[in-house]
Structure formats: C-alpha cells, structure tokens
Amino acid sequence: QRVIVAPQGHPLATRRQPPTLDELAALPLVSYDSSLKPDSSLRRAFEAVDLHPQIVMTAGDADLIKTYVRAGLGIGVLAEMAMLDSDTDLCALPADHLFPQCTTWIVLRRESVLREYVLEFIAQFAPHLDRRDVVRALAADAAATEWPAVPHWRERPPSTPPDAA
C-alpha cells in the first residue's frame, strides 16, 4: 500500500480525513521514478477520474523521496513500509483508497542453483515461504507447488536467522 507523506505542519497533515485525488492533483508530488511511465498505477488512478498529477520530482528510493518532502519540494507518494518510526517529522496519510495495491515479485529461473545469499534474501523478503519449498520448486521436474497466501507486509512472520535454518 502507498501513503501520502507530508511534513508535520502541512495542511494535509493537520486534517482529520485522508486526501482526495482532486486535492493531490493540485499539489506538487514527489514519487518513484516509475510514476513517470504511462502505465504507472499512480498515473492511471489520476487519469481514471480525468486528473493529471503534478509530479515535480522522482527518485529511485523512498529515503530520497522523504528528503525531497522535508526540503519542501512536494508531497510524497511512497510505499507504506518505507516509513520508519524515526520519521517523526513526517506525517503518513493513508492512500489505499486512492491507489491499487502494488505487488513486488521475485523471479527465478528454473533449474538454477540458488546460492545461500539468494536463499537468505528470499527468506528476508518472504519469510512465509519455506526454503526447501523454494529449492524444490526450481528443480527441473518439480510439480506445481502450493504456495501459502501472501500476508500483508505488516502481518509477515519474523524471518528465521540464517544460522537457525
């Protein structure tokens, strides 16, 4: 899910209701580089209601977007999970009513041998998956694997430390 990020003193941050697309279309926005692409879900959300976002800055990562917001260059639109407890100078407003959920995928080639660091990355990224199932799924003769439902990022189980696996 994405959130709208504004400095604590910004008028959006002091309201009791989340912003609308109309309100956001009138403001300078800072978001990910992908927001400039015509097929961006952010752009499509605005265009679906005949609005055009004013994307004034983009960045490849959330920390830079937050830096731009702090510098007063615009209102941020970024992944909810990128907000940290230490971001106390910023206000994160819900935006799941405005934009569709984004999904991140890990794509692996069948019959490839996964190195330990790749398995560890998968365990950190998707701790609900069993490492042995991942390895088996990549085997050449593997049958279709029944994967568990993907939990919301806030509901993910803690990952297993590498030396405990």
Sheet holding 54-59, edge to edge: 54-59, 28-32, 75-79, 2-7, 90-94
What is the secondary structure of 7-20 as a DSSP string?
Answer: ETTSHHHH-SSPPP
Strand ranges, E, within 39-159: 54-59, 75-79, 90-94
Please name the residue ranges forming H helices in 2-145. 11-14, 21-25, 41-47, 62-70, 116-125, 131-138
Mean pLDDT of 114-135: 87
Q: What is the pLDDT of residue 143?
A: 66
**Per residue in 18-73, pLDDT tens?**
899 999 999 999 999 999 998 999 999 999 999 999 999 999 999 999 999 999 99
CATH number of 2-94: 3.40.190.10
Q: What is the pLDDT of residue 157?
A: 55
DSSP state of 118: H
Q: Which residue did the predictor score with more confidence, 62 or 155?
A: 62
Q: Which residue did the predictor score with more confidence, 153 or 24?
A: 24
CA distances from 75 to 4, 16, 89 (A): 7, 17, 13
Read off the pTM: 0.75
d(CA 42, CA 77): 9
Tell me which residue has tokens 């983009």. Answer: 58
Q: What is the pLDDT of residue 153?
A: 64
Q: What are the residue ranges spanned by the domains of the chain?
A: 2-94, 116-164
Average pLDDT across the chain, whole number: 87
Amino acid (one-letter) located at 32: Y
Q: Is the pLDDT of residue 75 over 50?
A: yes
Mean pLDDT of 108-122: 87
